[in-house]
Chains A and B, each alone.
Chain A
Amino acid sequence: MYRYDEFDAAFVSGRTAQFTDQINRRISGELSEDQFRPLRLMNGLYLQLHAYMLRIAVPYGTLSSRQMRKLAHIARTYDRGYGHFTTRQNIQFNWPKLKDVPAILRELGSVEMHSIQTSGNCIRNTTTDQFAGAAADEIIDPRPVAEIIRQWSSLHPEFSYLPRKFKIAMSGSPNDRAAIRFHDIGLQAATNAAGDIGWEVWVGGGLGRTPMIGKMINSFVPNEHLLAYLESIMRVYNRYGRRDNKFKARIKILVHEEGLETIKGQVEAEFAEVRGGVLTLPAEEVDRITTYFAPPQFKAQPATRIDVAYESIIDPAYGRWLDNNINSHREPGYASVTISLKPVGGAPGDATDTQMDVVADLAERYSFDELRVTHEQNLVLPHVAVADLRAVYDALVGSGLAEGNTGLITDMICCPGLDFCALANARSIPIAQEISRTFAEPKRQAEIGDLKIKISGCINACGHHHVGHIGILGVEKKGGELYQITLGGDATEQASVGKIIGPGFEAENVPGAIETLVDTYIAKRESADETFIQAYRRLGEAPFKEALYGNA
């Protein structure tokens, strides 16, 4: 993991002191709320429905046990005993007091954490594959470059007041687990003919009210010129992105309105000027950062495989967990374990202080002190010896964290919705809870197989509903809540945006509608191997529409 040196530590404490001063000026009334808003946002502090919300950065989703314990401590001391892991691989606390925020930031600083740029119209936390550095299919570990981007973009003087927020996602493997085509910039690791490693650059993707799939702007940017290339894109966006309408201010609209070729021309012209300048990354320095992310000291393991079928007979719940929550590791004898934060009837992504402590202990004992947060709002122990899986599972069972549902219908992404969010049109957590109760039966979930449901409480799409195989969007209808259903979204390298298939449903009818869709899929699929999204692509929307709305 990256470790702060004196400079990093001084930077974070400098930023904390700066923000503390800003908070004090707000409390004293010297700053108006209008003047304070962008300042607090740039440090991850939102004003929500009931209270302030503080969003803490988990750079590229990587945490140590010590950091997780600190988060548990903050949840316990300054919040109501829990935190919420987000689709940005960050964590949010929903109930801090404004006057406590400086203390929280100091606590975070003591474990090399901060909330810099987790909000506001600036470059946000770079997200990446939760299995980075562990996945068997990886070309390179994207985290060293993600760390370099984090540093380059921290309090960038030119890009702190962009037209709108800006999100960068990176994938080090061809199987995109970071939804890079739905970010302002997506970086896909690539190799050129000479075998050099670089990045395929995608631009202008995003969700929100105008979902767009990113477009490839450059098929290969050498690693050493990546920052220069990013700066070129940022400058074009900062200068020409729309500022007249906040709903049209993301780079996706600029790319859409001007056309990829125009933007590409501007970016290339800028790149020609800055390329080879101060932002050139020397290989030795990339190597130096990379050593922070060196693989842990893996040991030769007695067991390299586990007989899931056998385990399933002995203990079905454990078998199910093995089946769904284990990802293959590039080191023989090891596996990555996904810890589901989607218990039946729970609020997706929430973890209590005790749960955080348990997970921290497990990471320390079984996963070389490392943890990951996934953009699907789960946690990961990236490097667990196969021989330790049972012990890890048993510990998770004791803490209500052993749900073996990763990738299944109950592993939903869900935004905070009307329960917390000031912008919401509708509740979303209760809908997710109701759906997970409907499909609680493990056999049923196994029968359905891979199916991603994603729920947003309003058009801002924080719950990524556009890229759910089934998406659910809360809208306001004559003072009540109504839920639109979309089908066919996909966040991976086969990116697609879901389509609305008909009129919305009342809250109480949503679980029934989802059951109808699932039943239709099971009835029409060619075999149990054909997933929901594959079947939808083959069949089109007609049979689903008919099942939901009749043949009118």
Chain B
Amino acid sequence: MGMPKLVTVQPAHDKLRALGILALNGMFDEMDAVGVLRYATSDVLPGDLAIVSSFGADSAVLLHLVAQVDPSMPVYFLETGKHFAETLAYVETLKKHLGLINIHAIHPDQADVQRFDPAGTLWETDPDSCCHIRKTEPLEPITEQYGGWVTGRKRFQTVERGVLPHFELTSDDRIKVNPLAYFSDADVNKYKIEHGLPEHPLFAKGYKSIGCAPCTSVVAEGEDPRAGRWRGLNKKECGIHFDFNGAIAKPVTAAAKHTLWKDGAFIADPFHDWSETSDPATASYTHVPLSVFLANREAFLANPHPLGLLVSPGERIEDVEADLGRFASVAIKFPAFSDGRGYSSARLLTQRYHYANEIRAIGDVLQDQIPLMRRCGINAFVVTHEPTREALIEDRLPEVALFYQPVGATEVPVGTRPFLRRAS
């Protein structure tokens, strides 16, 4: 395997930063796939977006979308050398049918193959390494050329992808655009039929998720479509998709009407409050009260949409410990600034349960308490109090930026004093 790359090129996508990934997702929640893709190519990353396609059973849908929006978008195909002959034929079929003019096959480094997989059986003993030399390594120099990637991932495909949003920021600061995030199995089939798309030759034979020949088997009726990949091995992803929990882009401008303060600006808030009419099965971008969540836990866990959690004073964060990973945001309610219970909830979330997504303070959120909230791990604030808004914008919170006691996992104390004082 080649050396890890030391130099990364910083992509420029200020537009997205300005909007904030979370806000962007809120805007495009439930929007149709073409809309998402069109916005991505025309506004977010013009000329800086590409796609990697497996030319598998479902690939036609996404490629059809790409062809509509921009037939010259670069389409990369990982020619691992392990594909079904049917797949290679299908690449040509689709290319012609859709009019794609910019398809590139990427081959593994032959030296790596010689060295690590001379007999071509690495997939059997060490599929992770096989994928590494045949997919990850060859793709790496390509990914660095683009600010963003279009993927065909869908939430329904595997359990881990249950909360997939339209836009993600990857850990290396790139954008993933997932136009099909909300597509179900039925939506895919309907789309193929409606648009008369050619089927992968193996689809009719029972293959639902098609990758390299040795690693793909037939999926049984009712089984997770991707269950046929790497069957029997505890391997679900190729390493070429990035985590959902990527960082959130930093917006640089503040829109006055927005009340959510995060990462140095007031930004659009994709989340809604839970209401009488909200439905556990279909709620989306909603802060679910902790008690409501517990009472309808199964329904919420089956709900594929991004959700938040609302913790009110007196509610115990311990009760949802196991499900915290389900939430993209936790809202901690301060009914009065003098009610300090939320500080303990925040510290437990960050310090004990290592919850790393958004934690926002809502309710009576005032400038004199925000520094304390921050130290307890709260990283977003819903603020309506005008002087507090001004203090935030002008960056003049009344804060003593020196502290004696360590409180969170994020604070690395300076020096070795017993009470671990720190200059911030």
Residues of A at the B interface (CB closer than 8 Å) are: 7, 10-11, 14-15, 18, 21-22, 25, 30, 35, 38-39, 121, 148, 151-162, 227, 235, 238-239, 243, 273, 278-279, 281-282, 285-286, 289
- Whether A148 touches B418, Cβ cut-off 8 Å, given contacts A158-B347, A160-B340, is yes
CB distance from A211 to the nearest CB of B (A): 26
B419 A152 Cβ-Cβ under 8 A: yes
The chain A residue sitting closest to B334, CB to CB, is A161
A282 B416 Cβ-Cβ under 8 A: yes
Chain A to chain B contacts (Cβ below 8 Å), 16 pairs: A38-B338, A153-B405, A155-B372, A155-B404, A157-B343, A157-B375, A157-B376, A158-B344, A158-B347, A159-B343, A160-B343, A161-B337, A161-B369, A239-B344, A243-B341, A278-B406
A151 B421 Cβ-Cβ under 8 A: yes
Complex interface: chain B residues within 8 A of A39 (CB) = 368
Instruction: Point out the residue from B338, B413, B418, B423 that lies within 8 Å of A227, measured CB to CB.
Output: B418
How distant is the Cα of A148 from the Cα of B341 in the complex, in angstroms? 25
Instruction: Point out the residue from A155, A285, A289 that lies within 8 Å of B400, measured CB to CB.
Output: A155
The chain B residue sitting closest to A116, CB to CB, is B400
How distant is the Cα of A156 from the Cα of B373 in the complex, in angstroms? 11
The chain A residue sitting closest to B405, CB to CB, is A152
CB distance from A121 to the nearest CB of B (A): 7
Counting chain B CB atoms within 10 Å of each CB, the highest count among A153, A161, A238, A273 belongs to A161
How distant is the Cα of A151 from the Cα of B418 in the complex, in angstroms? 10
Complex interface: chain B residues within 8 A of A160 (CB) = 340, 343, 372
The prevalent SS among residues of A at the interface is: helix
Complex interface: chain A residues within 8 A of B344 (CB) = 158, 235, 238-239
The chain B residue sitting closest to A154, CB to CB, is B404
- Whether A151 touches B341, Cβ cut-off 8 Å, given contacts A14-B400, A158-B376, is no
Is B403 at the interface (CB under 8 A from chain A)? yes
The chain A residue sitting closest to B413, CB to CB, is A278
Complex interface: chain B residues within 8 A of A10 (CB) = 402, 423
Beyond A15-B400, A238-B340, 7 additional contacts (C-beta under 8 Å) are A7-B423, A151-B419, A152-B404, A159-B340, A160-B372, A273-B352, A278-B413
The chain A residue sitting closest to B406, CB to CB, is A278
The chain B residue sitting closest to A9, CB to CB, is B402
CB distance from A241 to the nearest CB of B (A): 9
- Whether A161 touches B405, Cβ cut-off 8 Å, given contacts A18-B400, A22-B398, A278-B413, is no
A155 B339 Cβ-Cβ under 8 A: no
CB distance from B385 to the nearest CB of A (A): 9
B419 A18 Cβ-Cβ under 8 A: no
Complex interface: chain A residues within 8 A of B416 (CB) = 282, 285
Residues of B at the A interface (CB closer than 8 Å) are: 313, 337-341, 343-344, 347, 352, 366, 368-369, 371-373, 375-376, 387, 398-407, 413, 416-421, 423
CB distance from B346 to the nearest CB of A (A): 8
- Whether A286 touches B343, Cβ cut-off 8 Å, given contacts A30-B387, A158-B407, is no
- Whether A278 touches B420, Cβ cut-off 8 Å, given contacts A155-B403, A239-B341, is yes
How distant is the Cα of A345 from the Cα of B315 in the complex, in angstroms? 55
The chain B residue sitting closest to A122, CB to CB, is B340
Complex interface: chain A residues within 8 A of B417 (CB) = 285
A14 B419 Cβ-Cβ under 8 A: no
The chain B residue sitting closest to A163, CB to CB, is B340
A11 B338 Cβ-Cβ under 8 A: no
How distant is the Cα of A273 from the Cα of B317 in the complex, in angstroms? 15
CB distance from A300 to the nearest CB of B (A): 35
Complex interface: chain A residues within 8 A of B371 (CB) = 157
Counting chain B CB atoms within 10 Å of each CB, the highest count among A30, A35, A38, A281 belongs to A35
Complex interface: chain A residues within 8 A of B341 (CB) = 238-239, 243
The chain A residue sitting closest to B397, CB to CB, is A18
B407 A11 Cβ-Cβ under 8 A: no
How distant is the Cα of A39 from the Cα of B369 in the complex, in angstroms? 10
The chain A residue sitting closest to B420, CB to CB, is A278
Complex interface: chain B residues within 8 A of A227 (CB) = 418-419
The chain B residue sitting closest to A38, CB to CB, is B338
Instruction: Point out the residue from A7, A121, A235, A286 that lies within 8 Å of B418, measured CB to CB.
Output: A286
CB distance from B390 to the nearest CB of A (A): 10
Complex interface: chain A residues within 8 A of B405 (CB) = 151-154, 156, 279
- Whether A11 touches B402, Cβ cut-off 8 Å, given contacts A152-B419, A157-B343, A238-B343, is yes
Complex interface: chain B residues within 8 A of A154 (CB) = 404-405
CB distance from B113 to the nearest CB of A (A): 49
A161 B368 Cβ-Cβ under 8 A: no
B402 A14 Cβ-Cβ under 8 A: yes
CB distance from A262 to the nearest CB of B (A): 15
The chain B residue sitting closest to A236, CB to CB, is B344
How distant is the Cα of A46 from the Cα of B366 in the complex, in angstroms? 21
How distant is the Cα of A15 from the Cα of B404 in the complex, in angstroms? 13
CB distance from B275 to the nearest CB of A (A): 27
CB distance from A291 to the nearest CB of B (A): 14
How distant is the Cα of A380 from the Cα of B57 in the complex, in angstroms? 88
How distant is the Cα of A155 from the Cα of B373 in the complex, in angstroms? 12
A162 B402 Cβ-Cβ under 8 A: no
B407 A7 Cβ-Cβ under 8 A: no
CB distance from B398 to the nearest CB of A (A): 5
CB distance from B186 to the nearest CB of A (A): 47
How distant is the Cα of A289 from the Cα of B419 in the complex, in angstroms? 11
CB distance from A92 to the nearest CB of B (A): 23
CB distance from A432 to the nearest CB of B (A): 35
How distant is the Cα of A158 from the Cα of B406 in the complex, in angstroms? 11
Complex interface: chain A residues within 8 A of B373 (CB) = 157
CB distance from B210 to the nearest CB of A (A): 48
CB distance from B412 to the nearest CB of A (A): 10
How distant is the Cα of A148 from the Cα of B417 in the complex, in angstroms? 10
How distant is the Cα of A238 from the Cα of B387 in the complex, in angstroms? 28
CB distance from A29 to the nearest CB of B (A): 11
How distant is the Cα of A245 from the Cα of B347 in the complex, in angstroms? 26
Complex interface: chain A residues within 8 A of B406 (CB) = 278-279
Complex interface: chain A residues within 8 A of B398 (CB) = 18, 21-22
How distant is the Cα of A38 from the Cα of B341 in the complex, in angstroms? 16
CB distance from B280 to the nearest CB of A (A): 27
Complex interface: chain A residues within 8 A of B413 (CB) = 278
CB distance from A39 to the nearest CB of B (A): 6
The chain A residue sitting closest to B375, CB to CB, is A157
Complex interface: chain B residues within 8 A of A18 (CB) = 398-400
CB distance from B121 to the nearest CB of A (A): 49
B418 A285 Cβ-Cβ under 8 A: yes
How distant is the Cα of A151 from the Cα of B366 in the complex, in angstroms? 25
B404 A151 Cβ-Cβ under 8 A: yes
How distant is the Cα of A157 from the Cα of B337 in the complex, in angstroms? 13
How distant is the Cα of A512 from the Cα of B252 in the complex, in angstroms? 76
How distant is the Cα of A471 from the Cα of B371 in the complex, in angstroms? 44
The 9 A-B pairs at the shortest CB distance, nearest first, are namely A161-B340, A157-B375, A157-B372, A14-B400, A285-B418, A281-B418, A278-B406, A158-B343, A151-B404
Complex interface: chain A residues within 8 A of B387 (CB) = 25, 30
A161 B343 Cβ-Cβ under 8 A: yes
A162 B419 Cβ-Cβ under 8 A: no
